[in-house]
Amino acid sequence: MRYLPNSPRDRAEMLRALGHSSIEELFSQIPEPIRFEGRLNLPGPLSEQEVLELFRQAARQSSRKYASLLGAGAYSHYRPAAVDALLSRGEFFTAYTPYQAELAQGTLQAMFEFQTLIAQLTGMEVSNASLYDGSTAATEAALMAMRLTRRNRVVVARTLHPEYREVLATYVRHLGTEIAEIPYTPSGQLDLAALESSLNKETAAVVIQSPNFLGTIERCGEIAEMVHRSGALLVVAVAEPLSLAVVNPPAEADIVCGEAQSFGVPVAFGGPYVGFLATREKFVRQMPGRLVGETTDSEGRRGFVLTLATREQHIRREKATSNICTNQSLCALAATIYLCLLGKQGLKALAEHNLAKAHYAAGQLAAVAGTSIPFAAPYFNEFVVKTPGKAETLLRELQAKKILGGVHLERFYPELKDHLLVCVTETVNKATLDRMVQVYKDFSAQKKVGAAAPAAGPHPVGQEKA
Amino acid sequence: MYPEELQYTKDHEWIRVDGDTGTIGITDHAQKELGDIVYVELPKAGDPVTAAETFGTVESVKAVSEVYSPVTGEVTAVNGKLEDHPELLNSDPHAAAWLIRVQLSNPDEVESLMSSEEYEAYIREAESH
Amino acid sequence: MKEHPRHARPHITRDEGLIFERNSPGKCGVDLPAPDVPAAPASELLGEELYRKEISGFPEVSELEVIRHFTRLSTWNYGVDTGLYPLGSCTMKYNPRINEVVARLEGLATDHPYAPADLTQGCLKVLHETARCLAEITGMDAVSLQPAAGAQGELSGILMIQACLTDRGNPRKYILIPDSAHGTNPASVTTSGYEVRNLKSDAHGCLDLAELDRAMTEDVAGLMLTNPNTLGIFEVRIREICDLVHRKGGLVYMDGANMNALVGIARPADFGADVMHLNLHKTFTTPHGGGGPGSGPVAVKRFLEPYLPSPVVVQAADGTYGLDDNRPKSIGRVRAFYGNFGMAVRALAYIAANGGEGLLQTTQDAVLNANYVMRKLQDVYDLPYDEPCMHECVLSDRRQAARGVHTMDIAKRLIDYGFHPYTTAFPLIVPGAMMIEPTESASKEELDEFIEAMRAVAEEIEEDPEFVLKAPHTTRVSRLDEAKAARKPVLRWKP
């Protein structure tokens, strides 16, 4: 087997040195009744060419030939070639967690740079070295706020990503934490009056997303004021952090967290991604996840180490701030490289490009008969469209034209039947947008009412929920 | 080595009693076990403390230790120097690096604590295992 | 004192500052295509109040400078590619390059999780097949790939135990954990709401059955154990252990971190585990990446299947794949979307390259290598538990401690011999622990070099302990002041 460096002769010599005559003797302590003697029903063994063909087959049955206007927490952006070139260096991707700092200054310095970039982008004072993803980052932020305030109630915006809300619920169920949901207004933003009346002395945190799941940007300053008056902390989750290059960060928030997948990490059917969490310096000892700090060695040279480890599972064990062990180091490295490549100028230009494209598309769609853009609040690169007729049918028409036109919001918000969440990034060209608009026009003209046809939504096998 | 005017607990805290007030800290043995101290978490003036219950933590790079109160009472003062200079606990654990001062609600509790001699014997016992 | 040892290689000491320190306004590492839609000023579209004028402090460098910056940084690291990486409990094995190629294939790297199922059959098939293979290897009946890493797998498993016992009428209060367990175990238990009860190991470093019997009361939900344990020793009484727990109405969670010792040899479902997690970044070669991403799928017996995180990848009668989110008994989601798909691709590629026979051979080599190292070092370093080990062994610094030298110091000196250190100070039940896991990715030749290096360090400790205490001597930076980093944390660059 090509990955194994020992030859039969090596094995024989080692067995001899151990006084064994066969390799089976090394397992003699395992009781007979639980020894597995059968054959594992697994694919292979395959040569490298055969492995490649196996996965090429799978890759053919994909949506790679379609233009995608899907966002909703996973964003398609162009990944510069330098990202993979650098990630592929064995010293980066085959290294372990940098516990032995002298042998890991590369990873540690890169993570320190990641922490700096995230802090700069979010307008916060400190950031950690990444968490699993946006959904767990939002959850960890809420838990952190609960520890800091010693309160047990969390208020969340209904426009916080539905799956982020599900994850939060899973994590707090046993704590008996009350989770209250605040609806959105006709403008697509958080209902401030509803928030005000929901806040009480038990509220640890208010968790919102901006731009939110419907694409609109929240009034973070006003929300922060309201939240702070009740003694709670404001957590702002950002699922599309490219927005922060052109939208002012929520500097009044206590914790800014979210998903950095947009920065050089492939969409890859949902993972691996990279969560981030940034906050004020005074909260640093309650932060979950790894932290890289600057220090000096015995000769006074600058170096970096994992620090404040006493918060973590390997020391605190049951009293840890979180059970998290891994961060998403390689994905965080991808984000760091990406942000350095684009830099101050490039990231802004890219964000403005996304902004312009999305607004162009929305403008064109709004002009189609029977189509509207229901939410008037400002947005970045995602917006909601009310379709001229049944969304499911329209999506199939778009699919026939090799366009994935958006996410039908009905599955998350029953009141938003026939509304699509449309995301326009720099990866969709104007010709495609115009083609999409044409499909809307044709659809609207025919006034198709959508016959009962097999659903083409993302989860066709799921049955109707009771 | 261990000051005679202090009394000691099995968890390596010391207390200096003056009438019905006490000053509490951790012993030299404790700071040696922990290594370089980096952070101390203490209660606020006015907080209650209970004998044998924890009132704070002392952290080194690699470990965290709970600190237990030898007595019951109310915190009257907290050593502010430790916020910026936690390393004081390594250099002067028995005097300058005191942790809290308390008003004792039950001065009889100190009867059950160890003298410096008893504490030294206690450590010797523990180390020989 | 020894001469400059063979294999010591000074790390490249080229200085490279932080990327922010080489700023030069006006530079950019990419050239974006010109926008093909009508220009629209951002300040107008967003309004002056929302519009961000600039990201203060962000770098401005060319593509070349980015390449040089990170290339130089990478040379300061040590990876599995560099040489033996004997970190116990981490399974630092070879990361096959074909895995990286297939994970980047267009279609697999680019499909959106919300794209219609009829267009993502390839991705769904990969998830389904990976889950099936992991079930086959562990003997379990169902697998979820949703948990992002081992710790999340543990949390999911414990939550499933909780859900199941709640259905049976009483979730109970405690989970038993051996004192040799990895730190994520008690942390995960606490995160689920159970309380931890520690079990002392016996004189052989294994689970003490009498202790277990005493501790296993009617308010204990289950036992969380690692097999082989963190000493690398197989719990030979595992069937009895599981039966005991089951008899009292509890369930058994197995931490699958040490599966590299068991693949093809024994299946946890067969010896009584009800639920377990796997670490794809350990046993299944997905790269450690400097600390992640990992992947911690959770595998369960049939009766726990309804509680798996939702959605579950299913295959319909006509062979098509889909996602079933109609799971009323599910513990819910532990993360958005479906899990670290990219890691499932790599794990499946590894499994397919090996087949059952290759995986068995891999396990055998891993166990052979660890035993070889243990036997060749036990005359020089203390062996606290003289039992045959499996894929890892634990020595201790007890003899060297008499000279004032400890496990961390020995580890640092090993660096000068060109090796990454072993795991220091874990498991906690062995004072001064030195945990060595060579994995199968080590030739006899390399093992002999490692053994020679360890023996040389032992000699140095006898002759010149001070020299060892000040190690490493050949790296870019010497020992770093961790106390300083923790007292006054500096966690970012500031201009």
What confidence score (pLDDT) does residue A174 get? 84
Single pTM value for the model: 0.93
Binary contact (A270, C183; C-beta < 8 A)? no
How close does chain C come to A57, measured CA to CA in Å? 7
Query: Measuring CA to CA, which residue among C343, C393, C377 is closest to residue C456?
Result: C377
Using a CB–CB cut-off of 8 Å, the residues of C that contact B are 482-483, 486-487
**Residue to test with chain C: of A40, A397, A404, most C Cβ within 10 A:** A40
CA A456 → CA A75, A446, C322, distances in Å?
21, 20, 12
Is the separation of the CB atoms in C49 and C42 below 8 Å? Answer: no
Residue C312 domain-assigned (yes or no): yes
Which residue spans of chain A are classified as CATH 3.40.640.10?
A: 81-338
Number of domains in chain C: 3
All residues of chain C having their beta carbon less than 8 Å from the beta carbon of residue B87 are: 483, 487
Binary contact (B39, C487; C-beta < 8 A)? yes
All residues of chain A having their beta carbon less than 8 Å from the beta carbon of residue B63 are: 310, 315
Q: State whether C129 and C69 are in the same domain.
A: no
CA C220 → CA C170, C187, C192, C224, distances in Å?
10, 17, 14, 11
How close does chain C come to B127, measured CA to CA in Å? 14
Binary contact (A285, B63; C-beta < 8 A)? no
ipTM for the complex?
0.95
The tens digit of pLDDT for each residue in B37-78 reads 999 999 999 999 999 999 999 998 878 888 999 999 999 999
Residue B85 domain-assigned (yes or no): yes
Chain C interface includes A42 (CB < 8 A): yes
**Residue to test with chain A: of B34, B41, B60, B64, most A Cβ within 10 A:** B64
Enumerate neighbours of B (3 or more CB pairs within 8 A).
A, C
How close does chain C come to B24, measured CA to CA in Å? 22
What confidence score (pLDDT) does residue C369 get? 98
pLDDT band for position A460 (50/70/90)? very low
Binary contact (C487, B60; C-beta < 8 A)? no
Q: How many CB pairs below 8 A link A and C?
A: 702
Among A31, A120, A298, beta carbon nearest to C58 = A120
All residues of chain A having their beta carbon less than 8 Å from the beta carbon of residue B64 are: 310, 315-316, 319
Among A325, A395, A404, beta carbon nearest to C184 = A325
Residue B2 domain-assigned (yes or no): no
Residue C84 domain-assigned (yes or no): no
Binary contact (C32, A457; C-beta < 8 A)? no
Chain C interface includes A51 (CB < 8 A): yes
Binary contact (A48, C117; C-beta < 8 A)? no
Binary contact (C483, B59; C-beta < 8 A)? no
Binary contact (C293, A326; C-beta < 8 A)? yes
Q: How many CA atoms lie within 13 A of B4 on its CB side?
A: 0
Q: State whether C279 and C316 are in the same domain.
A: yes
Chain A interface includes C10 (CB < 8 A): no
From the CB of residue A378, how many other CB atoms can be counted at a distance below 10 Å? 23
Write the class of the CATH domain A344-446.
alpha beta
Chain C interface includes B38 (CB < 8 A): yes
Q: State whether C19 and C157 are in the same domain.
A: no
Q: State whether C463 and C389 are in the same domain.
A: yes
Query: Measuring CA to CA, which residue among A195, A124, A215 is closest to residue A154?
Result: A195
Residue A119 has which token pair? 């802090």
Owner of token pair 């499946």: C348
Q: Is the pLDDT of residue A215 over 50?
A: yes
Among B60, B61, B64, beta carbon nearest to A316 = B64
Is the separation of the CB atoms in C308 and C121 below 8 Å? Answer: no
Q: What is the CATH number of the domain that holds B118?
A: 2.40.50.100
Q: State whether C64 and C112 are in the same domain.
A: no
- Containing structural domain, residue B65: 7-128
Among A3, A39, A166, beta carbon nearest to C332 = A166
CA C243 → CA C178, C238, C268, C446, distances in Å?
17, 8, 13, 42
Residue C322 domain-assigned (yes or no): yes
Binary contact (C486, B87; C-beta < 8 A)? no
Mean pLDDT of A154-160: 98
Q: State whether C235 and C281 are in the same domain.
A: yes
What confidence score (pLDDT) does residue C75 get? 92
Q: Is A178 left (phi over 0), alpha (psi -120 to 50) or beta?
A: beta
Number of domains in chain B: 1
What confidence score (pLDDT) does residue B62 get? 78
Q: How many CA atoms lie within 13 A of C362 on its CB side?
A: 26
How close does chain C come to A26, measured CA to CA in Å? 7
All residues of chain B having their beta carbon less than 8 Å from the beta carbon of residue C426 are: none
How close does chain A come to B59, measured CA to CA in Å? 7
Q: State whether C444 and C410 are in the same domain.
A: yes
Residue C81 domain-assigned (yes or no): no
Q: State whether C339 and C463 are in the same domain.
A: no
Q: Is the pLDDT of residue A376 over 90?
A: yes
Q: How many CB pairs below 8 A link A and B?
A: 15
Q: State whether C249 and C266 are in the same domain.
A: yes
Which residue spans of chain A are classified as CATH 3.90.1150.10?
A: 344-446
C379: exposed, middle or buried (Cβ count in 10 Å: 0-12, 13-18, 19+): exposed
**Residue to test with chain C: of B38, B41, B81, B90, most C Cβ within 10 A:** B38
Residue C222 domain-assigned (yes or no): yes
Residue B76 domain-assigned (yes or no): yes
How close does chain C come to B103, measured CA to CA in Å? 30
- Containing structural domain, residue C431: 361-482
All residues of chain C having their beta carbon less than 8 Å from the beta carbon of residue B81 are: none
What's the CA gap between C489 and A125, in Å, rounded? Answer: 12
Cis geometry, peptide bond prior to residue C472 (ω within 30 degrees of 0): yes
Using a CB–CB cut-off of 8 Å, the residues of B that contact A are 39, 59-64
Residue B1 domain-assigned (yes or no): no
Residue B123 domain-assigned (yes or no): yes
The tens digit of pLDDT for each residue in A308-356 reads 887 766 666 656 666 666 679 999 999 999 999 999 999 999 999 999 9
How close does chain A come to C462, measured CA to CA in Å? 24
Residue B118 domain-assigned (yes or no): yes
- CATH 3.40.640.10 assigned to domain A81-338? The reply is yes
Residue C491 domain-assigned (yes or no): no
What's the CA gap between C437 and A254, in Å, rounded? Answer: 43
Binary contact (B60, C483; C-beta < 8 A)? yes
How close does chain C come to A60, measured CA to CA in Å? 7
Binary contact (C483, B39; C-beta < 8 A)? no
Chain B, 57-116: which have a CB under 8 Å from a chain C CB? Answer: 59-61, 86-87
For A166, the closest chain C residue by CA position comes to C333
Q: State whether C291 and C311 are in the same domain.
A: yes
Binary contact (C368, A15; C-beta < 8 A)? yes
Chain A interface includes C319 (CB < 8 A): no
Those residues of chain C that have pLDDT short of 70 are 1-13
Q: State whether C347 and C444 are in the same domain.
A: no
Q: State whether C139 and C15 are in the same domain.
A: no
Chain A interface includes C3 (CB < 8 A): no
All residues of chain B having their beta carbon less than 8 Å from the beta carbon of residue C486 are: 38-39, 59, 61
What confidence score (pLDDT) does residue B69 get? 94
Chain C interface includes A123 (CB < 8 A): no
Residue C489 domain-assigned (yes or no): no
**Residue to test with chain B: of C487, C488, C490, most B Cβ within 10 A:** C487
What confidence score (pLDDT) does residue C203 get? 86
Owner of token pair 């300053």: A221
For B35, the closest chain C residue by CA position comes to C483
Q: Helix/strand/coil (H, E, C) string of chain C? A: CCCCCCCCCCCCCCCCCCHHHHCCCCCCCCCCCCCCCCCCCHHHHHCCCCECCCCCCCCCCCHHHHHHHHHHHHCCECCCCCCCCCECCCCCCCCCHHHHHHHCCCCCCCCCCCCCHHHCHHHHHHHHHHHHHHHHHHCCCEEECCCCCHHHHHHHHHHHHHHHHHHCCCCCCEEEEECCCCCHHHHHHHHHCCEEEEECECCCCCECHHHHHHHCCCCEEEEEEECCCCCCCCCCCHHHHHHHHHHCCCEEEEEHHHHHHCCCCECCCCCCCCEEECCCCCCCCCCCCCCCCCCCCEEECHHHHHHCCCCEEEECCCCCEEEECCCCCCCCCCCCCCCCHHHHHHHHHHHHHHHHHHHHHHHHHHHHHHHHHHHHHCCCCECCCCCCCCCCEEEECHHHHCCCCCHHHHHHHHHHCCCCCCEECCCCCCCCEEEECCCCCCCHHHHHHHHHHHHHHHHHHHHCHHHHHCCCCCCCCCCECHHHHHHCCCCCCCC
Q: What is the CATH number of the domain that holds C155?
A: 3.40.640.10
